[in-house]
């Protein structure tokens, strides 16, 4: 990819792939530059918008993240297996916009009913709306989903199980 980008700096896909390399190395400034270049070359580069949104969310730049994720939804709502809906829900949770979070996360959980992270976040939105019974149900489902994941994924889902169990104890469930 480095060679392709050097040979043709106007190749949006090569710029996107370079961005992924920098992102994986946690060199976010360079990753952002490459993803932005990919989008400048091809505004329909949905993957680059998605990654720009993820980095912005991680960095706490919620309005930037929201703008990029909205572009992704406008281009392809089912992009990245609908993860964009979970990401949008997470932004709304961070902003304490629980109704908006609930709407995005409900759509996500309908498509991916066994994703511990999505279930936990959905529970958070419901708890934020004072619907504690429904929140307890989502937290319990998050714990079950984490336990049902294949062994090789358990390390990444364990966090959501622990957080869901903590919320269940808090809510008396």
Render pLDDT for 87-98 as a digit per residue (tens, 0 to 9). Answer: 999 999 999 999
* DSSP notation for the chain: -HHHHHH-TT-HHHHHHHHHHHHHTT-HHHHHHHHHHHHHH-TT-HHHHHHHHHHHHHTT-HHHHHHHHHHHHHH-TTGGGGHHHHHHHHHHHHTT-HHHHHHHHHHHHHH-TT-HHHHHHHHHHHHHTT-HHHHHHHHHHHHHHHHHS-HHHHHHHHHHHHHHHHHHHHHT-
Give the Cβ contact number of residue 50 at 10 Å: 22
> Taking residues 28-38, what's their average pLDDT?
95
pLDDT interval class at 77 (50, 70, 90): confident
- State the residue range of the domain holding 40: 1-76
pLDDT of residue 117: 96
pTM given for the model: 0.83
**Mean pLDDT score across all residues of the chain:** 92
CA dist 26 and 10 (Å) reads 24
Render pLDDT for 112-148 as a digit per residue (tens, 0 to 9). Answer: 999 999 999 999 999 999 999 999 999 999 999 999 9
Q: Domain containing 123 — which CATH number?
A: 1.25.40
Regarding whether 108 and 68 lie in a shared domain, the answer is no
Regarding whether 48 and 5 lie in a shared domain, the answer is yes
């Amino acid at each position: 990819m480095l060679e392709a980008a050097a040979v043709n700096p106007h190749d949006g896909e090569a710029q996107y792939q370079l961005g992924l390399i920098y992102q994986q190395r946690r060199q976010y400034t360079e990753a952002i530059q490459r993803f932005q270049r990919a989008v400048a070359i091809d505004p329909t580069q949905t993957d680059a918008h998605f990654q720009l949104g993820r980095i912005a969310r991680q960095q706490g730049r919620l309005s930037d993240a929201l703008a990029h994720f909205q572009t992704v939804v406008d281009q392809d709502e089912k992009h990245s297996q609908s993860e964009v809906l979970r990401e949008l829900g997470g932004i709304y949770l961070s902003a304490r916009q629980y109704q908006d979070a609930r709407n995005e996360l409900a759509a996500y959980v309908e498509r991916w009913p066994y994703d511990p992270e999505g279930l936990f976040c959905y529970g958070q939105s419901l708890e934020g709306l004072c619907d504690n019974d429904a929140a307890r149900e989502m937290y319990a489902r998050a714990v079950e989903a984490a336990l049902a994941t294949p062994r090789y994924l358990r390390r990444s889902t364990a966090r959501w199980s622990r957080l869901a169990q903590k919320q269940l104890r808090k809510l008396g469930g």
